[in-house]
């Protein structure tokens, strides 16, 4: 069995060592142009040349949950793509989103600013029922985030393209359910996959449907958000602010207005980082299963190329 590793901006050696330890007897090598054909590939934002040369792959494993970069490439016909379905990311994402929601709800950002100025003051507590949280995207990460938020007694709603059921969460689906979902949401969390259908979904038309004083948390992809529309809606008072972890260009350019906007909190795409050991264990387990004759359909995280996730 031959496994090739092609991951942009990733330290290859720890991954190679981990995969070799998890797949004893397999040949695991770093890809370079002209390399011998492999059976399986472990990738992150590979160049088109990689797939042009590796046309005989049995499966491609992406070391992340988002596959939008892969979907832009010409992939070999019939080769399945498998994304990480958790690998420790859902707990991180739940931590990040709950922190952002609670920080806004409890006005800890305002307290921080006042303390920095030497002010000692109190603010009237808000009611949770006045801060319904809507989660866009109810995949593995979205479901975990929704259930975590419900533990803090916030009213939690979820929206997805197809109908889903999550205990303790009021679920909406499809275009028909999007309007009602947005109209009932005050804190909006985006965890959607980035596809042609969801690109620019966080624009003036949708964001202005949110309850007055709305707050946005985007931990999905920068391509979901129309930056200027968000700034305009904050500046006119319809939205209270935003916490953003993902951007159209990363690192975020120094001249971008998000850096300086007083009501926007930014973090450097760190809401849920790939955990190497957990990811290697998951990928190696799936490769072993396929090598024993298991079907692709039996694996978790197989990407539907038509949907793009």
- Residue numbers annotated as active site: 221, 269
Q: How far apart are the C-alpha atoms of 161 and 46, rounded to whole Å?
A: 28
Task: Say if residues 2 and 37 touch (Cβ distance below 8 Å).
Answer: yes
Enter the DSSP assignment of 34.
T
CA distance 129 to 42: 45
- Residue 49: count of CB within 10 angstroms of its CB: 12
* Paired strand residues for 187: 133, 215
3-state secondary structure string across 118-144: CCCCCCCCCCHHHCCEEEECCCHHHHH
Distance CA 100, CA 104 (A): 6
Residue 247: CB atoms within 10 Å: 20
Spatial separation of the C-alpha atoms in residues 30 and 41, rounded to whole Å: 10
């Amino acid at each position: 069995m031959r496994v090739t590793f092609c991951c942009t901006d990733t330290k290859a050696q720890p991954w190679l060592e981990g995969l070799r330890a998890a797949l004893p007897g397999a040949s695991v090598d770093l890809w370079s142009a002209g390399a011998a054909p492999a059976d399986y590939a472990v990738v992150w934002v590979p160049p088109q040349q990689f797939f042009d040369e590796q046309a005989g792959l049995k499966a491609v494993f992406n070391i992340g949950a988002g596959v939008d970069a892969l979907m832009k490439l010409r992939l070999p016909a019939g080769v399945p793509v498998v994304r990480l379905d958790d690998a420790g990311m859902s707990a991180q994402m739940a931590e990040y989103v709950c922190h952002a929601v609670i920080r806004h709800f409890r006005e800890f950002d305002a307290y921080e600013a006042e303390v920095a100025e030497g002010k000692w003051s109190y603010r009237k507590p808000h009611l949770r029922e006045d801060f319904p949280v809507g989660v866009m995207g109810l995949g593995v990460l979205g479901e975990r985030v929704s259930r975590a938020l419900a533990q803090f007694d916030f009213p939690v709603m979820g929206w997805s393209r197809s109908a889903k059921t999550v205990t303790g969460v009021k679920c909406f689906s499809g275009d028909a359910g999007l309007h009602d979902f947005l109209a009932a949401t005050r804190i909006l969390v985006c965890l959607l996959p980035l596809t042609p259908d969801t690109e620019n979904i966080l624009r003036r038309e949708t964001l202005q449907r949110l309850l007055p004083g709305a707050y946005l948390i985007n931990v999905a992809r920068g391509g979901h958000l129309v930056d200027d529309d968000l700034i305009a809606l904050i500046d006119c008072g319809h939205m209270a602010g935003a916490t953003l972890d993902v951007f159209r260009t990363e690192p975020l350019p120094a001249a971008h207005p998000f850096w300086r906007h007083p009501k926007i909190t930014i973090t450097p795409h760190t809401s849920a980082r790939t955990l190497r050991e957990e990811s290697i264990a998951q990928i190696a387990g799936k490769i072993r299963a396929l090598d024993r004759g298991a079907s692709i359909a039996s694996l978790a995280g197989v990407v539907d190329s038509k949907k793009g996730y």
